[in-house]
Structure 1
Amino acid sequence: MVSNSAKEVFIQGVTRDGKTFRPSDWADRLCGVMSQFRPGGPQPGSHLTYSPWCVPTVINGVKCVVVNSELREAEPMAWDFAINFAKDNDLQVAEACLLPDPPKP
């Protein structure tokens, strides 16, 4: 489903048959569960912020979760959890690289 060379995986809030995935806060929930998995391990208060390895975002009006491949190397079971979440819920997954927004003039 996901190649080993992917730097980032985008789990999209759209099922393979094109339906919007519910509940509407699914991305925040998934990233909340994954918040403890971060560089250096969990720290006091780290449950209050998202992990840099698993971040919710909106792309072209579609809620997504961007999962960084560093998670796979540091915490393989957490990586499997995120990828299997997408698979179990029949969500569309894309391999890509999130680019920063261009600077504003």
Structure 2
Amino acid sequence: MPPPAQPREVFILGITLDGRTFRPSDWAERLAGAMSSFRPGGAQQGRSAYIGYSPYCVPNVIGDVKCVVVNEALKDVEPMAWDFVMNFARDNRLQIAEACLVPDAPPPKP
């Protein structure tokens, strides 16, 4: 039996379909912040609550381009949240790429 497929990641790039840089400059942090409550186990409350991004929707910079990395698992957690981020990209004519984020290489041993 083959291993289950890993959820894909969708990169919403801060570049419009006509090649312009998307503004405002903090759009990625705002979008990821709006999705911060969608996390494994649901939103935390009380003393265990903290401010942070959801692992399903994380701002990032690749090269010189701001982006938001959206994990397809968000569809299962909250389909309306998935639709929200995809509609945000479509409505703002942002480029989308399907890929996976490769972890940074460990530092060389001394």
Common fold by TM > 0.5? yes
Confirm or deny: 8 A CA contact 1:57 1:65 kept in the other structure: yes
In structure 2, the partner of 1:28 is: 29
Following TM superposition, the consecutive aligned residue runs of length 4 or more in structure 1 with deviations greater than 2 angstroms are none
1:63 pairs with 2:66: yes
Q: RMSD value over aligned CA atoms?
A: 1.2
In structure 1, the partner of 2:98 is: 95
In structure 1, the partner of 2:53 is: 50
Count of matched residue pairs: 100
Residue 6 of structure 1: how far off its partner (Å): 6.3
> Structure 1 6/93 Cα, relative in aligned 2: closer, same or farther at 3 Å?
farther
Name the structure where helix makes up a greater proportion of residues.
1
Q: 5+ residue gaps in structure 2?
A: 1-5
Residue 104 of structure 1: how far off its partner (Å): 1.2
What TM-score, normalized to structure 1?
Answer: 0.92
Structure possessing the higher radius of gyration over alpha carbons: 2
What TM-score, normalized to structure 2?
Answer: 0.87
Confirm or deny: 8 A CA contact 2:7 2:73 kept in the other structure: no
SS of match in other structure, 2:35: helix
Identity fraction in percent: 66
SS of match in other structure, 1:31: helix
